[in-house]
Structure 1
Amino acid sequence: MDDYLKIMDEINQKFEEFRLIILQETEKVKELENFKLTPQQEITMFYIIRNEPIIAKDIAIHFDISKSAVSQVLSKLEEMKMIQRQMNSQKRRETLIYLGDRGKDFHILLEKIDELLVGKYYSKVSLTELKNILDTLNKIIETNKNKGREIK
């Protein structure tokens, strides 16, 4: 167990160093602060960007939170013009969530940051090494998902 703790500490230190490098060298990252999003709002926006159009129920299921909690986050995001809601023309009881004007600006900025990070950092290591990192993260996430299926 001690070996795991030592490695975890080193991993955390490297994440902190990498985050610092990104913050110091990337002006675009500082522009994200202009959106004044809480961590919960930011994560919700990432999910909406990847899955739009989407319904609130799908967000609640994905994050394993109540629909009322999602509704509170969405109301604030809508107020901030990050998202907009439209009635689903095929299912009238369903409301689809799309990016609003500021949400589109947020998405464009994220794409610019990704391109910058790929050009400056990620492209300096092999795709195999990046895939190994992704595989490791997926295993950790899968362990968490399977935790709920265990019989106690």
Structure 2
Amino acid sequence: MKDEYIHQINILQNNFNIFVAKKFENKLDNQLTAKQVLLLELIKEGVTSTKDIADKLNVSTSAVSQILNKLDDRGYIERKFNPQNRREIILYLADKAHQYFKELAVLKKQINKEIYGKLSSHDLKQLKDILEKLQVIATDSDQSNSYDKKK
């Protein structure tokens, strides 16, 4: 029975994500890939070196560099030399990325109002609690997998 619920949840979640993507796709620059957006998010959060991004994502610096090159070519990031260490390059969001995040914030508000805003406070609290539980489970699982790999 549990497997059937999980199966139904997966279908509902996929359908919901597809619906939201279709409904709001023309409201945002959809030329960015998920990986590019992830890198922009990390830079926004203060991760400003290729090596630190690679370490955080557990991927090679060359893989990160390839994505950063595309973001640089398209005007989303800027690279500047670190004045304290000229061998180090610091990554910054360019104006285009700042504009992207402004548009994303407006879009999130619209989604919150049009979709989540239709739920009762009780339903929203339940959803929040369940998502928090899932995050703890995923984090614990990820940490135990990291521990198992180190053995």
Query: TM-score when scaled to structure 2?
Result: 0.80
Matched, 1:42 2:37: yes
* Aligned counterpart in structure 1 of residue 110 of structure 2, from 98, 113, 116: 116
Larger deviation, residues 139-148 vs 76-85 = 139-148
TM-score, structure 1 as length reference = 0.80
Within 2, Cα distance between the matches of 1:135 and 1:92?
45
Of stretches 58-67 and 105-114 in structure 1, the one that deviates more from structure 2 is 105-114
**Alignment partners' CA distance in 2, 1:142 and 1:30:** 37
Gaps of 5+ in 1: none
CA offsets 1:111-143 (integer angstroms, 9 cap, x no match): 112111222233424345314313313322431
Partner residue in 1 for 2:11: 13
Q: Whole-Å Cα distance in 1 between the matches of residues 79 and 16 of structure 2?
A: 36
Moved over 6 A (4+): none
Question: What is the RMSD of the two structures over their aligned residues, measured on CA atoms?
Answer: 2.3
Task: Determine what percentage of the aligned residue pairs are the same residue.
Answer: 23
Equivalences, count: 146
Matched, 1:88 2:82: yes
Query: Which residue in the other structure is 1:30 paired with?
Result: 26
Q: 1:75 aligns with which of 64, 69, 72?
A: 69
1:147 CA drift (Å): 0.5
Are the aligned partners of 2:76 and 2:93 in contact in 1 as well (CA < 8 Å)?
yes
**1:105, CA displacement in angstroms?**
1.8
Higher alpha-carbon deviation: 90-99 or 103-112: 90-99
Deviation, 1:24, is 4.3
